[in-house]
Amino acid sequence: MTQLLRLLIAAVFLVVLSPARAQLQFEVTGGSTGAQPIAIVPFGANDGVMDIAQVIEADLVRSGLFFALPRTDMLEKPTEPKQIDHRNWKAVNMDNIVIGSVRRDPGSDRVAVRFYLFDVLRGEQRLGFEMPAAEPSQLRYTAHQIADLIFEKLVGIPGVFNTKIAYVASQGYGLDRKYALMISDWDGENPRTIATSREPLMSPQWAPDRKRLAYVGYERGRSSIYVHDVASGKVRKLVSEKGINGSPAWSPDGTKLAITLSYETNPDIYVVDVATAAKRRLTQTEGIDTEAAWSPDGQSIIFTSERGGPPQIYRMTADGGSPTRISFQGRQNLRASYSPDGKNIALVNLDDNRYRIALLDVASGSMRLLSDGRFDEGPSFAPNGATVIYATQGPKGAELATVSTDGRVRQRLRQTGDVREPAWSPLQR
């Protein structure tokens, strides 16, 4: 009882000290030189619910590809297309403006949002949508959807504003170390704890259906691979062999996991059927084989292997056939994963005593560094393939960083303690 009391006091204390501590703080650290101007006008009748235009603006600015006209610089604030006076926007050098309005359904409490994207230079409507009515608490997601539509129209690739990241937060050392598996929106908002442990939690991976996470946990000195249903919180222990149970990677169809087990000899790649837990061994070599990842077409698996000496990336068929080395630049290459279009592979490259994130072009075999830390690790592609999120060493502990695959846009996500092992969710279907 006193322990519970102390705990409550401790929790309240933490919160009073710094209410946002458990939330990742988002910062754009490098923007694109080609960022485009856009004006997001406050939506009409947007009273009593969240400021939708503000969420859309924050999304677009955080992408690093836009800069937004401050509201105080707007010469007019139209909410209907016929209210737009193009001269007011040419005067402030805006090509694209977004306007909209909110309507509360009198019967239910649901809120419908209509928005337009106008090219004021050409005087043409480029988008006009009536978004499905949503509960007021879900409006943030409506705003993200609108930002996705605008982003796709202006940038040419899908937006990822409605995606999530899973990550492992940890604090303390030795006996006091505590681990939490968290999920938040892509920009760190709405953090939620999925699992906590005093033993390590590792390697979260989203299922392609975005409803489940696979990850590694330890209980009393034994590791296991868990499959966690995010909505219900139901957890299933899928594999718990003697030795290593690690590095789960979903097959693109979501029916199988490639994993690392060591119970037969030493760490090797296996494929386990998620429904039946039946498993099959794919590699047999001496030394470590680990960190498997599937190609988007499900035909190949790439993995880290010591079969040729220091760890490098190899590719084999999904049933374990004809393994071939595919990484050649650098002392070591580890933890590779395919881009959604299968054309690139993100990995961890060791050279000059630095572990950095690099991009391997699958067709040409050429490699390009994306990050410049000393201990960068855990790269994970955004589902539109335009950005990679990874973990890096910050001044106060491990934090998350993103970099666009062209290397121009950089963002940081940090919170108290260490934040590691980011996994970017698929797009919502």
Partner 1 sequence: MFKQVLISAVVAFGLIGAGCASKSNKNASTGSTGSSGSSLGTGGTSDLSGSGSAVGTDDTSGLSLADRTVYFAFDSADIDGPGQAIVSRFAKYLASHPTAKLRLEGHADERGTREYNVGLGERRANAVSAALISGGASAAQINIVSYGEERAADPGHDESAWAKNRRVEIVQL
Residue 192 binds to partner 1 (criterion: CB under 8 A): yes
Nearer to partner 1, 9 or 121 (CB): 9
Q: Pick out residues in 253-312 that bind partner 1 (CB under 8 A).
A: 260, 262, 266-267, 288, 290-291, 304, 311
Only segment of 113-121, 155-163, 201-209, 403-411 that touches partner 1 (CB under 8 A): 201-209
Which one, of 297, 296, 368, lies nearest residue 327 by Cα? 368
Residue 217 binds to partner 1 (criterion: CB under 8 A): yes
* Tally of CB atoms within 10 A around 42: 17
Neighbouring residues of 416: CB distance < 8 A, sequence distance ≥ 6: 18, 21, 22, 171, 396, 397
Q: Pick out residues in 18-47 that bind partner 1 (CB under 8 A).
A: 19-23
- Spatial distance between the Cα atoms of 123 and 95, rounded to a whole number of angstroms: 9
CB of 57 to partner 1, least distance (A): 15
CB of 270 to partner 1, least distance (A): 14
Buried b (16+ CB within 10 A) or exposed e, 209-233: ebebbbbbbbeeeebbbbbbebeee
Mark residues 122-151: x for contact with partner 1 by CB under 8 A, - for none: ------------------------------
Q: Are 296 and 362 in contact (CB under 8 A)?
A: no
Residue 334 binds to partner 1 (criterion: CB under 8 A): yes
Task: Please list the residues that pair with 369 across neighbouring strands.
Answer: 358
Nearer to partner 1, 36 or 266 (CB): 266
Neighbouring residues of 283: CB distance < 8 A, sequence distance ≥ 6: 268, 269, 289, 303, 305, 316, 320, 323
Residue 405 binds to partner 1 (criterion: CB under 8 A): no
Among 48, 72, 108, 173, binds partner 1 (CB under 8 A): 173
3-state secondary structure 350-370: EECCEEEEEEEECCCCCEEEC
Only segment of 78-86, 178-186, 276-284, 403-411 that touches partner 1 (CB under 8 A): 178-186
Q: How far is CA 74 from CA 47, 55, 324, in A?
A: 20, 18, 59
Q: How far is CA 1 from CA 5, 32, 176, in A?
A: 6, 55, 21
Q: What is the DSSP letter of 42?
A: P
Residue 395 binds to partner 1 (criterion: CB under 8 A): no
Nearer to partner 1, 17 or 363 (CB): 17
CB of 43 to partner 1, least distance (A): 17
Among 420, 422, 424, 425, binds partner 1 (CB under 8 A): 420
Nearer to partner 1, 222 or 280 (CB): 222
Q: Are 385 and 402 in contact (CB under 8 A)?
A: no
Only segment of 6-14, 56-64, 111-119, 269-277 that touches partner 1 (CB under 8 A): 6-14
User: What SS3 class is residue 118?
Assistant: strand
CB of 104 to partner 1, least distance (A): 20
